Amino acid sequence: MDKREVQINSQIKKTVMLTDICSSEHYCKSGQYERILKNITFNVLTGESVGIAAKEMNEAKLLLEIIANVKPYYSGKCVLDEKGMMQKKRLILPHLFYIDTPNMLYDNMIVLEFLMFASTHSLESPVEKQRKYLEMLVEFGLENIAFSRISMLSDTDKLIIELLVAAHSDSTLVIFNVLEYEFSNNQVQTIKKICSLINAKGSIIIGTNEPKIIGVCCDKVAYILDGTIKFYGTVDDLCSEWDKVLYLISDMHPEEVADKLRAACGNYTYVTNGKSVLVYNYSGSNLAHSEFLGILFDNGILPDNIKLNKGRVENSFEELNKQNGL
């Protein structure tokens, strides 16, 4: 790293700095009490979208509550927006917008009305605000709920409206704790667009176990196992390091195809899943794609479909679990 790169990196603000965080909460394991979270360390830079996922949902939820200043921690250091944490807990800090429930809205309002209400501090005229929010709802694919009463919305739609409000707040950090919710593909794309708005001035942390949200919306991801972070880095690095699936082979007779592949090419591991065969590489050395396909054809293995796997978050999490005996 040259001097210019070091200087640029030193100028990037850290929205969150966690150092050796240990939780106050414990659980009993084999007759011994252990802390739920142990020595959690990572930073979130301004402009980043970071996902937090865990094998055990309560571990990710607790970490998000600690970052949000909702719950105290036993030891370590947590700094938000480079301002430090207040000693008094259970108080959401003014530069943080925390979302963990769909019940933050007024059910008797329509969506557009609530967005107008939530931006009363804005100096824009009501007409200008209405036009802006209508255009935004259309751009984000939410025009179908713009004039819907909030009480009629699904919980996930309510959460997305709350996230939109957060994007237009003065908060420099948004925590979107949605570990218990599943979003449609269209909703994930909407969340991605709102994240871009937030990243223009701050950062967002998304608590979710949905691989598609992490893959589409997040720059980095922290994965927690047994109370410690087993991976923290970019989503691309997660998939390149931990997704061992090379090919997805579809066929009406997957067991037969898998048996033929084991006999013809012992370099890889073959696991059937429904009507598919997953081709894993645990050997550390890949065959060229043309070489692997040549082995298939030379041995008369002609499945219905062969798809090259480009790296998936879900596969990476499963592999992390397996490597850690879970």
Domain 244-310: give its CATH code. 3.30.70
pLDDT value at position 31? Answer: 81
First to last CA, the chain: 37
In this predicted structure, which of 5-9, 69-73, 78-82 has the lowest mean pLDDT?
5-9
Listed in order, the ranges of the chain carrying CATH 3.40.50.300 are: 13-240
The answer to whether residue 5 scores a pLDDT higher than 50 is no
Phi then psi for residue 313, to 5 deg, are: -65, -40
pLDDT in tens, 149-187: 999 999 999 999 999 999 999 899 999 999 999 999 999
The answer to whether residue 29 scores a pLDDT higher than 90 is no
pLDDT in tens, 48-79: 999 999 999 999 999 999 999 888 899 998 88
The answer to whether residue 94 scores a pLDDT higher than 70 is yes
pLDDT value at position 9? Answer: 47
Of 285 and 222, more confident: 222
The answer to whether residue 6 scores a pLDDT higher than 60 is no
Which helix H or strand E contains 218, and what residues bound it? none
Longest dimension (CA), the chain: 72
The answer to whether residue 233 scores a pLDDT higher than 50 is yes
Check if the beta carbon of residue 96 is closer than 8 Å to that of residue 173.
Answer: yes
Instruction: Give the C-alpha separation, 117 to 80, whole Å.
Output: 28
Mean pLDDT of 88-110: 86
Tell me how far CA of residue 301 lies from CA of 210, 286, 294, 304, in angstroms.
35, 19, 10, 10
Render 67-107 in DSSP notation, one character per residue.
HTTSS-EEEEEEEETTS---SS-S---TTEEEE--S-SS-T
Class of domain 13-240: alpha beta
Q: What is the pTM of this model?
A: 0.87
Of 11 and 296, more confident: 296
Check if the beta carbon of residue 217 is closer than 8 Å to that of residue 48.
Answer: no
Of 68 and 83, more confident: 68
3-state secondary structure of 16: strand
**pLDDT class of 212 with cuts at 50, 70, 90:** very high
**pLDDT class of 7 with cuts at 50, 70, 90:** very low
Mean pLDDT of 133-155: 94
Phi-psi region of 213 (alpha: psi -120 to 50; beta: other; left: phi over 0): alpha
The answer to whether residue 85 scores a pLDDT higher than 70 is no
Closest CA to 146 of 100, 189, 183, 109: 109
Listed in order, the ranges of the chain carrying CATH 3.30.70 are: 244-310
3-state secondary structure of 119: coil
Which helix H or strand E contains 21, and what residues bound it? strand 14-23
